[in-house]
Amino acid sequence: MTVQDAPGPYLDGFERILADATATGRRLTRDEVQSRRDLGAQAAEAGHGWRTLVRAHLTAARGDWPRAATPDSVLAVVEQAVDAFADGYERAQRLVVRKEEAARREFIDDLLHGRGDPGQLAAHSERFGLRLSRAHAVAVAEGPEKYDETDAIPRHVAGELFARFENRRILFTTKDGRMVCIAPGDQDDVLTHFAEHAHAATGQAQVAIGRPRPGAVGIGHSYEEALNALDVAQRMGLDERLLRAADLLVFPVLARDRQALMDLVRSTVGPLEQARGGAQPLLDTLAAYFDTGCVAAAAARRLSLSVRALTYRLERVHTLTGNDPADPADRYTLQTAVIGARLLDWPARPL
């Protein structure tokens, strides 16, 4: 017999209360109400279903129906007893939910930040819907506001996600104001669906997906890659809705040796600070020129300049730096330096 099939112990005292209260027509005493609440809480903690418990109360009332009592008096006692039982049951259920949610958030935090014992994480993972023997990827959505898991937008996105992929092993949470989705690495459709609904719900969320990585530590690495991709996108002015860390690997490679990158920026485009108006206008000109495939007319349109004005700016770059943007050899050096300047937030931040 399963737990749900054996609710008898949680009806302890119900027959006596039914007989005593209906005999005089009184209401349940404070102790009787508290005893029902306590039993309701115990039933919830034991995992009994509410439907089974209600049926058990009604069956007991029918079997122990006081012969001399009126139907109204019996039903009034049953109502009070079941109401108190339900109160204890619901309180215990809410407490269980809060504990479960706290445990789930702690588990996810440990995964994302690479904390905790790998053996314990693996043992708990099945409980929360993951199999850490598989590779997983993490998607992070950053919107115009900071979100908590109880806010309307994350709840809507989570609802859409689990409605579509009810039987998939996925996790959804919020972390540091961003929405986060963890899914098996071979189920890219889950993460792209998450990205679509995150953008649709916020109107302008940008979503980054880390590379699939094996094990518990791999989830933390994928999460960091997604965060780094969002940071790179902000620094580089990338406005794509969906970013993939695998497509942006050149940027962390450049930033890995910060001192060498600073030296490159300082020596290559540092002289642009001598220009009237400082280095920023000429850096923006180079960025637009490179982003448009070195097509002067397209770059001029992007900057709302005439082609003549753009050409003049490129000539100033050549004069000040000694590197010609139109020369293939110089172009690579200049483009790398421009990327480095964006990553270092130069010239807004001094080198």
Q: Which domains does the chain have, with CATH numbers?
A: 3-97 (no CATH), 125-246 (3.30.70.270), 252-344 (1.10.10.2840)
- Helix or strand run (H / E) with residue 298: helix 296-303
- Give the tens place of pLDDT for each residue, 288-331: 999 899 999 999 999 999 999 999 999 999 999 999 998 988 99
pLDDT greater than 90 at residue 140: yes
Reported as a pLDDT band with limits 50, 70 and 90, residue 2 is: very low
Least-confidence region, from 158-172, 173-187, 266-280, 310-324: 158-172
The pLDDT value recorded for residue 253 is 74
The first and second tokens of residue 248, run together, are 């942006």
- Give the tens place of pLDDT for each residue, 214-258: 988 889 999 999 999 999 888 877 888 999 998 888 777 777 778
* Alpha-carbon torsion (257, 233, 155, 49), positive or negative: negative
Strands 242-244 and 206-209: parallel
Helices 50-63, 14-24: inter-axial angle, 10-degree rounding: 50
Reported as a pLDDT band with limits 50, 70 and 90, residue 4 is: very low
Q: Are 25 and 66 in contact (CB under 8 A)?
A: no
Angle at CA of residue 76, ends 84 and 57, nearest 5°: 55
Q: Are 222 and 210 in contact (CB under 8 A)?
A: yes
Residue 23: how many CB atoms within 10 A of its CB? 12
The pLDDT value recorded for residue 117 is 67
Question: The pTM is what?
Answer: 0.63
The pLDDT value recorded for residue 1 is 32
pLDDT > 90 fraction of the chain, expressed in percent and rounded = 53
The predicted model gives 334-339 an average pLDDT of 91
pLDDT > 70 fraction of the chain, expressed in percent and rounded = 95
Residue 104: how many CB atoms within 10 A of its CB? 16
Q: Are 243 and 137 in contact (CB under 8 A)?
A: no
